[in-house]
Amino acid sequence: MPDPLWDADTLVARYDEVRAHTETLAAPLSPEDQTVQSMPDVSPTKWHRAHVTWFFETFVLADHEPSFKPYQDQYWFLFNSYYEGVGPRYARAERGFITRPGAHDVGLYRADVDARMRELVTTLDSGSLEKLGATIELGFHHEQQHQELLLMDIKHVLSVNPLQPAYAGSPLTPSDPDPLGWVDVEGGLVEVGHRGGGFSFDNELPLHQQWLEPYRLADRLVTNGEWLEFMADRGYERHELWLSDGWGRVRAEGWRAPFYWTEVDGVWFEHTLSGTRPVDPGLPVSHVSHYEADAYATWAGKRLPTEGEWEHAVVADGQAEAASVGGNLADTETFHPRAAGPPTGHLRQVYGDCWEWTSSAYLAYPGYHPPAGAIGEYNGKFMSGQMVLRGGCALTPPGHARATYRNFFPPGSRWALSGVRLADGGVRP
Residues 267 and 334 in one domain: yes
Cα 111 from Cα 105, distance rounded (Å): 10
Cα 164 from Cα 273, distance rounded (Å): 10
What pLDDT, in 10s, does the model give residues 112-127?
999 999 999 999 988 8
Is 167 within the bounds of a domain?
Answer: no
Taking residue 308's Cβ as centre, other Cβ atoms within 10 Å add up to 21
Say which CATH number the domain at 382 has: 3.90.1580.10
Exposure of 77 in the CB half-sphere (CA atoms within 13 A): 8
Is 191 within the bounds of a domain?
Answer: yes
3-state class (DSSP) for residue 314: helix
Cα 337 from Cα 310, distance rounded (Å): 19
- Written as one string, the DSSP assignment of 62-106 is HHHSTT---S-TTHHHHS--S-TTT-----GGGGGG--SS-HHHH
Residues 322 and 187 in one domain: yes
Query: Which amino acid makes up residue 343?
Result: P
- Residue 230 contacts residue 288 (beta carbons within 8 Å): no
Looking at 326-379, which runs of residues are DSSP E strands? Answer: 355-361
Is 169 within the bounds of a domain?
Answer: no
Which pLDDT value is given to residue 5? 54
Residue that is last in its domain, among 160, 192, 208? 160
Q: Which helix (H) or strand (E) holds 315?
A: helix 307-316
Is 409 within the bounds of a domain?
Answer: yes
Q: Which of 145, 152, 144 is nearest to 38 (CA)?
A: 152
What is the total count of domains within the chain?
A: 2
Which pLDDT value is given to residue 3? 46
Cα 363 from Cα 298, distance rounded (Å): 24
Residues 330 and 216 in one domain: yes
Residues 106 and 218 in one domain: no
Is 96 within the bounds of a domain?
Answer: yes
Which pLDDT value is given to residue 428? 60
Residues 264 and 350 in one domain: yes
Which pLDDT value is given to residue 1? 39
- Residue 191 contacts residue 204 (beta carbons within 8 Å): no
Residues 294 and 347 in one domain: yes
Is 196 within the bounds of a domain?
Answer: yes
Residues 276 and 418 in one domain: yes
Q: Which of 43, 22, 45, 21 is nearest to 32 (CA)?
A: 45
Q: Which of 311, 309, 330 is nearest to 320 (CA)?
A: 311
pLDDT less than 50: residues of the chain = 1-4
Is 166 within the bounds of a domain?
Answer: no
Q: What is the dihedral of CA 194, 196, 200, 206, to 10 degrees?
A: 50
Say which CATH number the domain at 30 has: 1.20.120
Residues 310 and 379 in one domain: yes
Which pLDDT value is given to residue 429? 54
State the residue range of the domain holding 41. Answer: 8-160
Cα 417 from Cα 303, distance rounded (Å): 20
Residues 154 and 227 in one domain: no
Which pLDDT value is given to residue 380? 87
Residues 355 and 420 in one domain: yes
Q: Return the ∠ at Cα 180 (arms to 175 and 184), rounded to 5°.
A: 150
Is 205 within the bounds of a domain?
Answer: yes
Residues 383 and 335 in one domain: yes
Residues 88 and 149 in one domain: yes
Classify residue 417 as left (phi > 0), alpha (psi -120 to 50) or beta. Answer: beta
Q: Which of 374, 341, 241 is nearest to 296 (CA)?
A: 241
